[in-house]
């Protein structure tokens, strides 16, 4: 199994480096955003309950909701500024997710480039006198050439899934923050 994977990596040739960069970037972005977007880091339950109930706010000082509440308290008479700050916080939650879109679009194309260059190399080894390739070298060369596409797709699919998951999570938080923002603004008017 390990040797088969090593053959796949060798088959990608020099394009293994951009593919590895795409893979490392996707893993980092997905893990970092999943950690940063956990419920306790964005909208802890105790703080949400306090905002909804109109109670004094305690806890969650370094969360997205706490930063919005704190900004609203400082800028009590400027609803536009508070709404703009909330939008900036949502934009901050989206940080890095757009790169996943680039990765899931680029990785298969990089893999396809590796396949095309590998196939060119295979077909260039056709004997000029017979016009036929060596069957063993030809089939192994084609298999290795396709390995770059396999690697590209293996990187693109988790990136696509991760991007979709993170975007839906951010949209859900944004909708919840919109509702809570009205309560925060109502509270600051009083």
Among the listed residues 178, 187, 185, 190, the one whose alpha carbon sits nearest the alpha carbon of residue 78: 185
Q: What is the mean pLDDT of residues 153-182?
A: 95
**Predicted pLDDT at 19:** 92
Looking at per-residue pLDDT, the higher value among 105 and 121 belongs to: 105
The answer to whether residues 22 and 106 touch, using CB atoms and an 8 Å cutoff, is yes
pLDDT of residue 86: 95
Using the Cα atoms of residue 99, residue 102, residue 104 and residue 109 in order, give the sign of their dihedral: negative
For residue 88, the model assigns a pLDDT of 96
The percent of residues above 90 in pLDDT, for the chain, comes to: 49
In sequence order, the 6+-apart residues with CB closer than 8 A to the CB of 58 are: 46, 47, 50
Candidate from 51-55, 80-84, 92-96 with smallest mean pLDDT:
51-55
Residue 184 structural domain: 2-189
Q: What is the per-residue pLDDT for 1?
A: 63
Q: Choose between 57 and 190: higher pLDDT.
A: 57
Predicted local distance difference test score (pLDDT) of residue 4: 66
At 2, the pLDDT band (50, 70, 90 cuts) reads low
Give me the number of domains the chain comprises: 1
- pLDDT exceeds cutoff 80 at 15: yes
Burial of residue 40 (CB within 10 Å: 0-12, 13-18, 19+) is exposed
Q: What is the pTM of this model?
A: 0.83
C-alpha to C-alpha distance for 103 and 108, rounded to whole angstroms: 9
Give dist(CA 182, CA 147) in Å, integer.
Answer: 53
């Amino acid at each position: 199994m390990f040797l088969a994977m090593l053959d796949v990596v060798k088959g990608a040739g020099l394009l293994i480096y951009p593919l590895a960069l795409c893979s490392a970037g996707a893993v980092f972005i997905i893990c970092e955003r999943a950690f940063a977007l956990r419920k306790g880091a964005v909208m802890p339950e105790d703080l949400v309950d306090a905002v909804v109930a109109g109670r004094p706010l305690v806890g969650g000082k370094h969360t997205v909701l706490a930063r919005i509440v704190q900004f609203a308290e400082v800028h009590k008479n400027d609803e536009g500024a508070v709404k703009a700050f909330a939008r900036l916080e949502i934009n901050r939650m989206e940080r890095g997710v757009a790169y996943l879109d680039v990765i899931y679009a680029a990785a298969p194309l990089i893999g396809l480039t590796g396949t095309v260059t590998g196939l060119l190399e295979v077909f260039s080894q056709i004997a000029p006198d017979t016009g036929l390739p060596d069957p063993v070298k030809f089939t192994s060369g084609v298999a290795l050439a396709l390995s770059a596409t396999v690697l590209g797709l293996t990187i693109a699919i988790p990136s696509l899934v991760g991007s979709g998951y993170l975007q839906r999570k951010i949209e859900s938080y944004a909708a919840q923050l919109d509702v809570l923002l009205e309560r925060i603004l109502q509270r600051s008017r009083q």
